[in-house]
Amino acid sequence: MNLTLGIINNIHDWLFGVMPEGMAAIVEMILIALVYLGIFSVVGLFLVLMERRVAAWFQLRIGPNRVGFQGLLQTVADALKLVSKELTGTTKADKFLYNLAPYFVIISSLMALAVFPFTKDFQAFDINIGIFFLIAISSIGVIGILLGGWASNNKFALIGAMRSGVQTISYELSIGLSLLTMVLIAGSLQLSEIVEVQKNGWLIVQGHLPAIIAFMIFMISGTAETNRAPFDMVEAESELGAGFHTEYSGMKFAYFFLAEFINMFIIAAIATTVFFGGWLSPFGLTESIPWLGVFWFLSKTLVLVFLIMWFRWTFPRLRVDQLLTLEWKYLLPINLVNMVVMAFIVWLNLTIQF
Amino acid sequence: MIVFAIASVTSRKMLRSVIYLLFVLIGIAGIFFLIDYNFLAAIQLTIYAGGIIVLLIFSVLLVHHIEMELEIAKTTKQLLTGSLCLIGLVIFLITIYSYDFKEVKNHLTTSTVDIGTKLLSYGPGGFILPFEVISVLLLAIMIGAIIIAKGSKPSNKNNSSI
């Protein structure tokens, strides 16, 4: 990591040496954006492969294992195939909105990716309202889905989009409140500071009971927010065809698909940062080697991603009314009470510190 | 932003104008980000882009078919609204240019902690009174919404029809 940081600094100096200041800043921003796009696509493709392998494992199959070592190149091949496919569309669709929708979804998830501290020095945008920014961004993604469903001029797509809207708006509340519960104990909205606080024990340990409840609520509502099974009413195959992206093909479909997996990664990454100490190693094991932070961050995140996949292949799909009952009658009251309990614990200093 | 604002009022497809409005609101959030009002920008994104626009899109989805276009208003109406808007704009510009704005020198980012303490302080310059008034107003609105929702039959509820 020191080597990479050195290279990054060299590039930075070189850029500002060769070009005028404003130009160099813009070029640097573009370079960073390209790096994040790279991370984005690699993570997305890897997660698709992981999902397929995990699904296969749960169903006692082998899964894709032919292309590359253990099927590692399978999703790359799939992506190439999707790029080369024809982009079809319905004639009576609203072309402008129909083409705009995938970009909404993908840009919102890409923006969310920018604020995560992968390790101490690897963070694109250390904004002082980090968590709040994440919540704000995640509320925009749903607009893409609503647009896509409506502009396709297809009633199944429309129903899927409506369901998605209901689901996302309801569960956003739970996500916000459960994160707010953790902000109470962390005392800051800035993601890097939240990680710093956890040097005396991860927040899920520091906040013991209410933190664990908040974590459970966060995982449930996070799964619902990303429209994954058991909450995938949006694209319930047996009822709606493919839901809001029925009419999409080729790369536009792939955008929706990738964005779903990236959103899953983002939910897991938020949980890692807020509950499990981000890039901190357990018990300060490798504190002397800072570049291992990326390893810890990614491994914690992948464990949580595996948890979400586990949900998917274990639970049957809920009905819409069951979903809304779960949110408004159970999760929301539990969350509010939980927040008060957490406030008391922080107030009376009952947190566990190492 | 101005282009999108004009597009939003001239577009004849309802959902498109909603989307242009969304772009305007996101642009405003971007301006807040540029002048380092991060909290305000995020509020703008959550409340307006995330909340209000989604609500608007929902109502459009429920009542509007994709092939419908908005009617063009009569000329007299157009003239009336146009002149009203012009008067409003003139008054606005006069007030802006007659007020003596002072340039703020510091470039400190307002932190969330500052906003929170100011909002709840009852000393001079605190905002506790407006805060409480707004909370009472919101409570009243919520009770009203519950009464309206309970007044009709349970089968007419929004959620179950979706």
B129-144 per-position pLDDT tens digit: 888 899 999 999 999 9
Query: Could you give the residue ranges of the DSSP H alpha helices within B99-153?
Result: 112-120, 128-151
> Between chains, do A150 and B13 touch, taking CB under 8 Å as contact?
no
CA distances from B70 to A143, B5, B12, B13, B60 (A): 22, 17, 5, 6, 12
Give A321 to chain B, closest Cα distance, Å: 7
pLDDT tens digits for range A317-352 = 888 888 888 888 999 999 999 999 999 888 888 777
Distance from CA of B69 to the nearest CA of A (A): 12
pLDDT at A338: 92
- Which residues of chain A have a CB within 8 Å of the CB of B30? none
Closest by CA to A191, choosing from A278, A108, A121, A268, is: A278
A141: CB partners within 8 A, 6+ apart? A104, A105, A108, A109, A168, A259, A263
Residue A151 above 90 pLDDT? no
The verdict on B39 touching A (C-beta cutoff 8 Å) is yes
CB contact under 8 A, A143 and B42: no
pLDDT < 70 stretches in chain B = 66-68, 104-110, 152-162
**Using the beta-carbon criterion (under 8 Å), do A127 and B38 form an inter-chain contact?**
yes
- For residue B146, give the amino acid letter: I
With the CA atoms of A203, A208, A212 and A213 taken in that order, what torsion angle do they form, in degrees rounded to the nearest 10?
-120
Cis peptide before A230 (omega within 30 of 0): yes
**Contact flag B50-A97 (C-beta cutoff 8 Å):** no
Find the closest chain A residue to B57 by CA distance.
A146
User: What span, in angstroms and rounded, lies between the C-alpha atoms of B23 and B49?
Assistant: 9
Which residues of chain A neighbour B66 with C-beta distances below 8 Å? 92-94, 150-151, 153
Q: Note the pLDDT of residue B86.
A: 94
- Is the confidence metric ipTM above 0.90 for this complex? no
Using pLDDT thresholds of 50, 70 and 90, give the confidence band for residue A14. Answer: confident
pLDDT of A4 above 70? no
- Judged by a CB distance cut-off of 8 A, whether residue B18 touches chain A is no
Which of A108-122, A156-170, A217-231, B107-121 has the least mean pLDDT? B107-121
Phi, psi for A279 (deg, rounded to 5): -85, 5
Q: Does residue A124 register a pLDDT over 80?
A: no
Summarize pLDDT for A277-320 with one digit per residue, the tens: 878 877 767 777 777 778 888 888 999 999 988 888 888 888 88
B121 reaches A (C-beta below 8 A): no
- Residue B152: the pLDDT is 62
A343 close contact with B: CB closer than 8 A:
no
Cα B7 to Cα A92, A146, A292, B16: the distances in Å are 22, 21, 50, 9
B35 with A129: CB under 8 angstroms?
Answer: no
Per-residue pLDDT reduced to its tens digit, A236-279? 667 777 777 777 877 888 888 888 888 889 999 999 888 888 78
Q: What pLDDT score does A169 carry? A: 82
Above 80 in pLDDT, residue A2?
no
Nearest CA in chain B to A322: B160
Average pLDDT over residues A190-203: 82
What pLDDT is attached to residue B160? 47
Asked if A234 and A164 touch (Cβ cutoff 8 Å), the reply is yes
pLDDT at A163 over 90: no
Q: What is the pLDDT of residues A100-113, one digit of tens each?
A: 888 888 888 888 88
The mean of the pLDDT values for chain A is 83
Mutation site, B32, B111, B159, interface A, largest A CB count within 10 A = B159
Neighbours of A66 (CB within 10 A): 10
Site of tokens 């307006």: B48
Other beta carbons less than 10 A from residue A266's beta carbon: 27
Supply A268's token pair: 């897991």
Q: Residue A274: which of A333, A211, A225 has the closest Cα? A: A211
| Domain extents in chain A | 1-84, 88-347
Note the pTM of the prediction, 2 decimals: 0.84
Name the minimum distance, in Å, from the CA of A58 to any CA of chain B: 33
Chain A residues within 8 A of B112 when measuring between CB atoms: 128-129, 132, 189
Percent of chain A residues past pLDDT 90, beyond the cut? 6
Q: Is B15's CB within 8 Å of A147's CB? A: yes
**pLDDT range class, residue A87, cuts 50, 70, 90:** confident
Best residue in B43, B59, B61, B160 for a mutation probing chain A (most A CBs within 10 Å): B61
H-helix segments, A187-207: 191-197, 203-206
Distances (CA, A) of B40 to A194, B46, B60: 21, 10, 28
Inform me whether the C-beta atom of residue B22 falls under 8 Å from chain A C-beta atoms.
yes
Contact B66 A96 (CB under 8 A): no
pLDDT tens, A24-77? 778 888 888 888 888 888 888 888 888 888 889 888 988 888 887 888 888 888
**What's the confidence (pLDDT) of residue B115?**
80
Q: Which two tokens stand for residue B59?
A: 């109502």
Say yes or no for a CB contact (<8 Å) between A139 and B46: yes
- Determine contact: A136 vs chain B, CB below 8 A: yes
